[in-house]
Chain A
Amino acid sequence: MIGENMKDRVIPYAEKVGAKYYKAVGKRAENWMANNKRWIQRVIKAGKKVVDIGEDATRSKRSDNYEMEKSELKRHDYPVTSDPPPPSQSH
Chain B
Amino acid sequence: MIQEFQSSVERAFAPLAHVYGFRPLKYEADPNGYEVVLGNGTTALRVRLEPREGLFVSLLKPHDGIIPTRDLDDRMRDPINGFDVDDLIQARLPTFRVPSTQPLAGKSLTRTLEAYATFLMDNARDVLSGDFSVFAVLAQLVAERIRSLESKGHSIGPDSRAFLSAMSRIEQQGHA
Contacts and interface: CB of A to CB of B under 8 A. Distances in A.
Interface residues of A, number: 35
A56 B156 CA distance: 8
Interface residues of B, number: 38
B71 A57 contact: no
A57 B149 contact: yes
A8 B70 contact: yes
Contacts of A57: 142, 145-146, 149, 156, 159-160, 163
Nearest to A13: B72
A87 B142 contact: no
Contacts of A9: 71-72, 75, 157, 159
Interface in B158-175: 158-160, 163
Interface of A: 3-9, 12-13, 16, 23-24, 29, 32-33, 52-61, 63-65, 80, 82-84, 86-88
Interface of B: 30-33, 48, 50-54, 56, 58, 69-73, 75-76, 82-84, 86-87, 90, 103, 142, 145-146, 149, 154-160, 163
